[in-house]
Structure 1
Amino acid sequence: MNTDAADIKAIEQVVATVERTQRAKDAEGFLALFHPDALWTTGHGKVLLGFDAIAEFTRAVLPGAVWDGDVTYEAVHIQFLRPDVAAVKVRQVYHSAEGDTEGAPLCVMTRQDDGRWLLHACQNTEVQTG
Structure 2
Amino acid sequence: MTTESAAYTADIEAIAQVVAAVEHSQQHKDPDEFLALFHPEAVWTTAGGKVLIGLDAISAFTREVLPAADWDGKVTYEVVHVFFIRPDVAAVKVRQRYLSPGAESEGAPLYVMSRQADGRWLLTACQNTAVATA
Cα drift, residue 99 of structure 1: 2.1
CA distance in 2, matches of 1:102, 1:65: 15
Counterpart secondary structure, 2:111: strand
Partner of 1:103: 107
Q: Which residue of 1 aligns with 2:91?
A: 87
Residue 24 of structure 1 and its aligned partner are, at CA, apart by 0.3
Provide the C-alpha distance between the structure 2 equivalents of 1:65 and 1:106, rounded to a whole number of angstroms.
21
Count of residues paired in the alignment: 130
One-letter amino acid matched to 2:52: L
> What do the CA deviations read for 1:71-122 (whole angstroms, capped 9, x no partner)?
0000100000000000000000000112210000000000000000000000
Q: 2 CA distance for matches of 1:56 and 1:71?
A: 22
2:93, 2:53 → 1: CA distance? 20
Task: Give the AA of the match of 1:83.
Answer: P
Q: Percent identity among equivalent residues?
A: 65
Work out whether 1:8 is the aligned partner of 2:12. Answer: yes
CA distance in 1, matches of 2:102, 2:22: 23
The TM-score with structure 2 as length reference comes to 0.94
Counterpart of 2:128 in structure 1 is: 124
Deviation of 1:64 after TM superposition, in Å, equals: 1.4
Segments ≥4 residues shifted beyond 2 Å:
none
Cα displacement (A) at 1:129? 1.4
Gaps in structure 1 of 5+ consecutive residues: none
Q: Which whole-Å CA distance do the structure 1 matches of 2:113 and 2:100 have between them?
A: 29
Unpaired stretches in structure 2, ≥5 consecutive residues: none
Q: Rg: which structure is higher?
A: 2
Per-residue Cα deviation, 1:40-97 (whole angstroms, up to 9, x for no partner): 0001101001110000000011011111110000010000000000000000000011
**Matches of 1:129 and 1:57 in 2, distance apart?**
26
Matched ranges for 1:1-130 at <5 A: 4-130=8-134
